Structure 1
Amino acid sequence: MTQSARNDQDFRALMGDVKPLTGVGNRADPGTRRRRPTEAQLARRASAQAMTGKDSFLSDDFVDLLPPFDPMEYRRDGIQQAVVDRLRHGGYVAQSRLHLLRRPLAECRRVLPSFIQEAHAFDLRSVLIVHGRGREIDSPPNVLRSYLAKWLVQFEEVQAFVSAQQADGGLGATWVMLRKSERARAANRERQQKRRG
């Protein structure tokens, strides 16, 4: 008797009088009916659909690809160069980070607006976005990096952004400076008035 035949005989002896269940579909069986989505699943779907409508101002149309070894830099009018230099050299603490490495472009386009808007709502000023950088101009990380440069300027909340230093991710990461919220500005004015007396 072969080993395989012995194993089959042992298995049958162990199973004895066990009978398969009837009337219960096997989950792996493609013939089983799908259950209706739960209330929580429907709510999550509705929320996701609402979010995709909210971030539609970010376009995934044509973008000029950045050379993979060129740093990114942008600042709005009125932002001092010293602030940008301090941001570039990691002079601000990363109050939040967003990791976009190896994520599809469509997913990055979807999560970026909520990240920026939530960071601004919580009065965060400096955030770090990790996106990666390819060696070729048309590599996926460099394409994402190019779109990120295009998208960030479209946010009213973004005052400046620069490529990070090597210790923070180099050209594969971007520091973003957000403007103060109205609540933070009011608190700042109140502190200054108290100081003046």
Structure 2
Amino acid sequence: MTDLQDDADFQALMGDVTPLLRGQGRAHTGQTHRAPSEAQLARRESAAAETPGGDLLSTDFIDLMPPFDPLHFHRDGIQTAVVDRLRHGGYPVQASLHLLRRPLEECRRMLPPFIREAYAHDLRSVMIIHGRGREIDSPANVLRSCLAKWLQSLDEVQAFASASQADGGLGATWVMLRKSERAKANNRERQQKRRG
């Protein structure tokens, strides 16, 4: 067959077909779109409840960190000396969360309750052990990159920094939590007692 014959055959087959215009959407398949069922709504609510803040800890739009770059962040008002001391392991580990080789979704569910419970118990310095891959898109490095975003979105977190080599290096992150209102009140009380 010649190209001319192929074109004629194609035109004969397509006869009364008209192309969709841009913005018309998908062709009608005969299925109608229904509102979500009660079970679907319940599952959505449950998923939102499991991850406080809903999409606060999203895995969308994560900038992958180069695997050999240290993580660091601090909120305005935190002194550089405090962040340096945190990075060098100058605070005791009061609690730790081990996320090594866990699925990303499980890590996303585990992080907020861990941080909130530590904060509720007046802990100030915690460590997250996550590992570090050698490739930018390795699972450990993806988790590490997600943690850099997630930790910044949690109000309880004041600062974080990759651990020193002795404490796990780039495979672990020190996290400093802000003082709870109870801890602040205790500090004020102690200072007033000292002053007499």
- TM tier, smaller: 0.7 to 0.9
What SS is found at the alignment partner of 2:153? coil
Deviations 1:134-183 (Å, cap 9, x if unpaired)?
A: 00000000000000000000011100000001111100000000000000
**How much has 1:54 moved relative to structure 2?**
2.4
**How much has 1:53 moved relative to structure 2?**
4.9
Structure 2: state its 5+ residue gaps.
1-45
Displaced runs of 4 or more, over 2 A: 48-51
- When the two structures are superposed, what TM-score results if normalisation uses the length of structure 1? 0.74
Is the CA contact 1:162–1:174 (under 8 Å) kept in the aligned structure 2? Answer: yes
Alignment-derived partner of residue 112 in structure 1: 111
Cα separation, 1, equivalents of 2:168 and 2:51? 32
What SS is found at the alignment partner of 1:120? helix
Cα separation, 2, equivalents of 1:55 and 1:130? 23
Cα separation, 2, equivalents of 1:53 and 1:68? 27
Is the CA contact 1:75–1:159 (under 8 Å) kept in the aligned structure 2? Answer: yes
Alignment-derived partner of residue 80 in structure 2: 81
Cα separation, 2, equivalents of 1:131 and 1:148? 9
Q: CA RMSD in A?
A: 1.5
Alignment-derived partner of residue 52 in structure 1: 50
Question: 1:177 is aligned with what amino acid?
Answer: M
What SS is found at the alignment partner of 1:71? coil
Alignment-derived partner of residue 152 in structure 2: 153
Deviations 1:96-131 (Å, cap 9, x if unpaired)?
A: 000000000000000000000000000000000000
Q: Is the counterpart of residue 132 in structure 1 residue 131 in structure 2? A: yes
Cα separation, 2, equivalents of 1:144 and 1:77? 25
Question: 1:110 is aligned with what amino acid?
Answer: R
Alignment-derived partner of residue 166 in structure 1: 165
Cα separation, 2, equivalents of 1:140 and 1:128? 19
Alignment-derived partner of residue 8 in structure 2: none
**How much has 1:50 moved relative to structure 2?**
7.2
Cα separation, 1, equivalents of 2:65 and 2:47? 31
> Cα–Cα, structure 1 residues 191 and 113, in superposed 2: closer, same or farther, change >3 Å?
same
Alignment size in residue pairs? 151
What SS is found at the alignment partner of 2:93? coil
What SS is found at the alignment partner of 1:141? helix
Percent identity (aligned): 74
Is the CA contact 2:51–2:112 (under 8 Å) kept in the aligned structure 1? Answer: no
What SS is found at the alignment partner of 1:54? coil
Cα separation, 2, equivalents of 1:185 and 1:169? 31
Cα separation, 2, equivalents of 1:138 and 1:148? 14
Is the CA contact 1:55–1:113 (under 8 Å) kept in the aligned structure 2? Answer: no
Structure 1: state its 5+ residue gaps.
1-47
